[in-house]
Each structure stands twice: as C-alpha cells, then as structure tokens.
Chains A and B, each alone.
Chain A
Amino acid sequence: MNAREAIGDTVQFVQGDKACVYGALLAGCRFFAGYPITPATEIAEEMSRLLPLIGGTSIQMEDEIGSISAVVGAAWTGAKAMTATSGPGFSLMQETIGYAVMTETPCVIVDVQRGGPSTGQPTRASQGDVMQARYGSHGDYELIVLSPSSVQEAMELTIRAFNLSETYRVPAILLTEESIGHMREKITIPDTVPLQSRPATEDEAAPHVPPFSPFGRGKKAFVTGLTHQDNGHPSTDDHEVHDRLVRRLCAKVCENMDDIFQADTVRMDDADTVIVSYGISARPGRAASEMAAQAGRKVGAITLKTLWPFNYAYFAELAQRVDHIVVVEMNCGMLYHSIREAAAGNATVTLVSTLGGKVADPTAILEVIR
C-alpha cells in the first residue's frame, strides 16, 4: 500500500496533528521516533498506525532525546525521518538539533507549542517556542522554521519542511500550536506532491550544500559533531576550519532566502498599516485587516509561513512602504524584536501580545491601529 492509499479519502475533517502525519507520509517520511507529550501525542499515535501499513518504521523511544537521536540515526541510512513533541520535549531535543545542524542531517521536528515555561499549560496554545526554535541549541547556526495557520497548511507545510530539509541538509521545524494541532478542519489531500531528496552529487546540490552519502553504500561516511574538514575528519583547533564551516552552514540557509521564505499577503497594495502574524494569531490578524478595510482604512495583513531564517530585507523594505507595523504574537514578543530591528525606525512597530492560550481579539488589534 502506498502512502496516499493509506491516508484515505481526498476530503477529510481532521485535527492539525493528523494533517502533519499526512503531510509527512506524502513527503516520503518512512521513519518516526517519538515520546508521548500533550498536545503532540496524536502525531505519534497516527504514525504508529499508518507507518507499518506502508512499510515504514515507527518507534516510541524512552524520552525526547532518544527520539531525536533515533531520527538522526535513521536519516543517515537515507530515510526521511521525523519526530514530534511540545515545549518540554523540544527543550530536551535542542542539543541534538545542534548536532543535526553540524552534521547536515536532513530531518523534521514538529513542535506543537503549549504554554510555558516548564510544564505550563499542556492543553493551551502558545507561540512561546519561537526563540527556542531559532536559538535553542548552543553555537552559531541557522535552520528552517515554518508555521501553519490552518489544518490544511499543517499538512502542506510539513511537506515543505521535508523538501527544504532535504534540499539544504538542515533540520526543518514545523512550529505549530495546540490550537492548530487539536483543531479539526476540512482538508483536501492531493494525490501527488512535489518531492525533494537530499543531493547525491555536487551537481544536484544547492549552493554551499555538500552531497549526502547514506550509510551502507561503501562511502565510508565520517559523521561527527566536532568541528570537521570537508572530508568529515575532526579538526578542532584550527580557527579557520571552524570559521569556514560555521559560516557555510549559515550561508546555505540565509543565502537561499528566496526559496525558503514564504508569506501570504492581503490588502497590501496601498496599505499604510500592516498587521504581521503567523500560526493561529494570523486569523485575528487577517480579521482585523478586513474589519479595518470595511471602516475605510488601508490596513494590510501579512501571514508569515517561514519564521526562520528571518527575512530582514523583506521587513526593511516593508518599513519603507508603510507607517505602522503591528505584530500579533501569542507570547511576550519574540518575532517582534527582529521585525523592529529590520524596520530600523522607518516604521512604528507595535506588539499585540496574548498569553495563557488566549488568541488575540481582532478588536484589540484595531485599538492599536486607531
């Protein structure tokens, strides 16, 4: 049975967590390792049901560190591999996410965000892991973080996370929230999806991305988290080797911004004010834009699908065009800081922040604009 057959009907009414699983399987994911945690558990449950039907492998590990480690190990056999978790487990995974960056291991991590810090609010949504997704591991690095604002997008951006992860040999994180993960919406499942695979030769590879040699093919791959030369051999004392490696790892993500960055826009043509949001917060953001339009105001809305790498040029240009940027986030202000930095004083940047699982009220956003 192929993945599409295992998924079933073309139109389904499902939770975001399940939509992630569908997206992963359509993208070619054949290995899942996870550990139960609210509100991401449904992903592990659905993987354990569907993967054996299509000849894949699903394993429940002893903790989240074991889960991400098994995913990296599986990825080196050539498999497309994924794990899923929420804040506390995501924290545990950070060291190995750094390892995956350093070893250029394609893999996907789904973080269904809940309220933190610590155990916090297991069953309430949050966007509190935005900074952890970007900066959670030690050292300088870049990776790819995508945020869906609907159940349909949870499926589509999981596919995209796999494709980008394969193309650039970098971990890709699907950063969603409990609200999307547990919400049921109607989705339409495609019969085929565009598929990317990690480059086998230099000709296939994107700029700054080395070809991938999976285990078991006689290539004698040398994989280490130590600072290493191009042939993989450790070289931990030479500042030039480290400098070259780290800058290349960052460049392969940042210099391919045009391919990686995506945002949906509405009412931007003559906007003087723009509401920027992502994930579940995009919904009140877009609603506020529509309400403002009805009141005769020129208020656009941007829904970010790519959070990291952060597109400074995009926001610098935006700040030249509009007077006011309103950032709506379900945290104390995370992406807000980067947007303000990019705006560099050319536009006023205001934060609308909600916490505790509360999604922003469109009227509260309109208050800020007024």
Chain B
Amino acid sequence: MKQASELYETYLRTDMLPTILCSGCGAGVVLNATIRAIDSLKMDLDNMVFVSGIGCSSRLGAYINADSLHTTHGRAIAYATGVKAANPDLEVVVFTGDGDCVGIGGNHFIHGIRRNIGINVIAINNYNYGMTGGQTSPSTPQGSVTTTTQYGAFEHPFDIAQLAKTAGAAYVARWTTSHPLQLQKAIRKGFSNKGFCFIEVLSPCPTSYWGRNKVRNPEEMYQWYKDHTIPIGRAEEYPEKIPIGELVNVEKREWTEQWASLVRKVSP
C-alpha cells in the first residue's frame, strides 16, 4: 500500500493545497476517498477527466492532478456527456453538489441517466448552497433553518439517490463522509460499472448549514451522520433514519457503446 504522502503527491496538485474548503467540510473526505479508489483500481490519471459545475463540491476536480473542466452552474453532466461521447476512451468523473446536480442541473441529471452515458457522478449533498452563504437547496431537510428559510424549510426535499434509481442509473449508492472506507468501495464498484454511475455522499457544511441548525462542532457533525443513517437492508426497521448503501448495480447498454455499434452498422 502506498503511503498517504506518496499518494497525495501522485494524485493531487499539491501546490494548490491546503484546499479552499472550510475546516470540517466533508468534501475533502470525498476527494480523499476518490483518489484512493482510483489508485486501487490502477486507473491512468492521464486518461481521466474531472468535470464539475459551480459550488464548493465543484472545486474538487481542480485538486486532482489530471485534466479538469470546471464549468458553469448545473451543467457539468452535459459537458461531461460531450467529453465522453466525443472520446469514449476517456474515464470521466463529475463532482457536483445538491444544488448543482438536482437544483439548476436537474434536467441534465435525469437525462444523463436516461441515456446511460458512461460517466461517474459523485454528488456531495450538504443540504444547502454553501458557497453563497447557506441558502435552502432541493435537498434541505424539512424544518431546517437556512438563510432563505429563516423560519424553517417546509418544501419536500429530493431523495437524490432514489431519484437516480428511479431515472434508471446503472449504479447508485449513498454513503456519508463518516463512512470513508465504504465510500471508497462504492466508488471502486461504481467506476467499474460501464454505465451511468451515481454516488451521493451526505457531507457536513459546518459554516453555512450546521451552525444554523445547532450542531456547531465538526466532531459532532461527524457523529450525526453515523447516528442518523442506517444500512439499506435495515431501513424498514428505522424509518426515521436515512438509508445508506448500494441501491443499484446493474449492467445496462451504455450510450457510447450503442453509438459505436450504430456507426458499425450504418457506415459503409
């Protein structure tokens, strides 16, 4: 096993560290798990492209020592679709957040899944728009205080992993930043699935979300994600908890494979 410092030198743009992320932000845990999964899969960084939109989560791609495309708000999956469709040999990873993925980018999300383009989407769900100061997002739990739901959010939030499953993603899993080893394993399995891979990671935003919702210490936040989640197999026993684990892992014909076979069929 590589030593961590060696791993970081290989996979990260260390001249950009420390990250711009706040103390206690979970996004770094996701980045850590991602590079470890890539290392254990022995993927070639020079053949990988990291695409992201706008938001704290979308800054992750730039820290990886590979080609990165930091795009416009909500559109990362559409850009990634272009990258993958134009060059199917590239391994494409999208870092996105709850607002980026299912708020402004919801249409690209469901249609990327529908066409089963072979990209790997990691959505860091921190329940709010953190970079702009903590506004309510499509995944904000009911009752939460955010800067735009000052008397408590009442809208019904999206269950993002369930949405991905319903739309037909080939791989879907949900973990939290308090489950880094399970998250690594899910990334390995998801990246190994040729179809659209979706991994939701529940992740604390200490600065913009939790402080307003009475969890003020990152260590307590770490514990919150342990205490409020339940392995998916036991979810029925604990309806008040968030199910975590693997929701889907199926083989399904991928878009670029289908396009290649169409080209073989019609080209003289």
A and B touch in the complex (CB under 8 A): yes
Q: Give chain A's interface residues, CB within 8 Å of chain B.
A: 1, 30-31, 33, 52-55, 57, 59, 61-63, 65-67, 69-79, 81, 95-96, 99, 215-226, 233-234
Taking CB atoms, residues of chain B closer than 8 Å to A216 are 46-47, 49, 67, 87, 89-90
Taking CB atoms, residues of chain A closer than 8 Å to B82 are 31, 33, 59, 69-75, 81
Q: Tally A-B pairs: CB < 8 A.
A: 131
- Tell me the complex Cα distance, A69–B87, Å: 15
Taking CB atoms, residues of chain A closer than 8 Å to B90 are 77, 215-216
Taking CB atoms, residues of chain A closer than 8 Å to B47 are 216
Q: Is B223 an interface residue (CB 8 A)?
A: no
Max chain A Cβ within 10 angstroms of own Cβ: one of B65, B67, B68, B75:
B67
Q: By the criterion CB–CB under 8 Å, are A74 and B62 in contact?
A: no
Which of B185-193, B209-217, B229-237, B259-267 is near enough to bind chain A? B259-267
- Tell me the complex Cα distance, A242–B47, Å: 31
Q: By the criterion CB–CB under 8 Å, are A65 and B68 in contact?
A: no
Q: By the criterion CB–CB under 8 Å, are B71 and A225 in contact?
A: yes
- Given A217-B46, A218-B46, also A52-B79 (CB < 8 A): no
Q: Is B86 an interface residue (CB 8 A)?
A: yes
A78 CB to nearest B CB, Å: 8
Closest partner residue, chain B, to A216 (CB atom): B90
> What are 9 A-B residue pairs whose CB atoms fall within 8 Å in the complex?
A54-B267, A65-B108, A66-B111, A69-B82, A70-B82, A74-B83, A99-B71, A221-B67, A234-B62
- Tell me the complex Cα distance, A280–B263, Å: 37
Known contacts A62-B108, A219-B67; 20 further A-B pairs (Cβ under 8 A): A31-B82, A31-B86, A59-B82, A63-B107, A69-B72, A70-B79, A71-B82, A73-B80, A73-B81, A73-B83, A74-B85, A77-B86, A81-B86, A99-B72, A215-B90, A216-B67, A216-B87, A216-B89, A220-B67, A223-B69
Q: By the criterion CB–CB under 8 Å, are B267 and A62 in contact?
A: no
Q: Is B239 an interface residue (CB 8 A)?
A: no
Chain B contact residues: over half helix, strand or loop, or mixed? helix
User: Size band of the B side of the interface?
Assistant: 35 or more
Which single member of B85, B87, B267 contacts A1 (CB below 8 Å)? B267
Q: By the criterion CB–CB under 8 Å, are A222 and B62 in contact?
A: yes
- Tell me the complex Cα distance, A234–B70, Å: 10
Taking CB atoms, residues of chain B closer than 8 Å to A221 are 67-68
Taking CB atoms, residues of chain B closer than 8 Å to A52 are 259, 262-263, 266-267
Taking CB atoms, residues of chain B closer than 8 Å to A53 are 266-268
Taking CB atoms, residues of chain A closer than 8 Å to B49 are 76, 215-216
- Tell me the complex Cα distance, A64–B67, Å: 25
A93 CB to nearest B CB, Å: 11
Taking CB atoms, residues of chain A closer than 8 Å to B66 are 220
Q: By the criterion CB–CB under 8 Å, are B268 and A77 in contact?
A: no
- Tell me the complex Cα distance, A71–B82, Å: 6
- Given A1-B268, A59-B85, A73-B86, also A66-B78 (CB < 8 A): yes
Max chain A Cβ within 10 angstroms of own Cβ: one of B69, B86, B268:
B86
Taking CB atoms, residues of chain A closer than 8 Å to B267 are 1, 52-55
Q: By the criterion CB–CB under 8 Å, are B68 and A222 in contact?
A: yes
Taking CB atoms, residues of chain B closer than 8 Å to A59 are 81-82, 85
Q: Is B51 an interface residue (CB 8 A)?
A: yes
Taking CB atoms, residues of chain A closer than 8 Å to B89 are 216
Q: Is B17 an interface residue (CB 8 A)?
A: no
- Given A70-B85, A74-B83, A215-B49, also A224-B75 (CB < 8 A): no
Taking CB atoms, residues of chain B closer than 8 Å to A215 are 49, 67, 69, 83, 87, 90
Taking CB atoms, residues of chain B closer than 8 Å to A99 are 71-72
- Tell me the complex Cα distance, A198–B235, Å: 54
Q: Is B1 an interface residue (CB 8 A)?
A: no
Closest partner residue, chain A, to B115 (CB atom): A59
- Tell me the complex Cα distance, A216–B108, Å: 24
Q: By the criterion CB–CB under 8 Å, are A224 and B268 in contact?
A: no
Taking CB atoms, residues of chain A closer than 8 Å to B86 are 30-31, 57, 73-74, 77, 79, 81
Closest partner residue, chain A, to B265 (CB atom): A52
Taking CB atoms, residues of chain A closer than 8 Å to B266 are 52-53
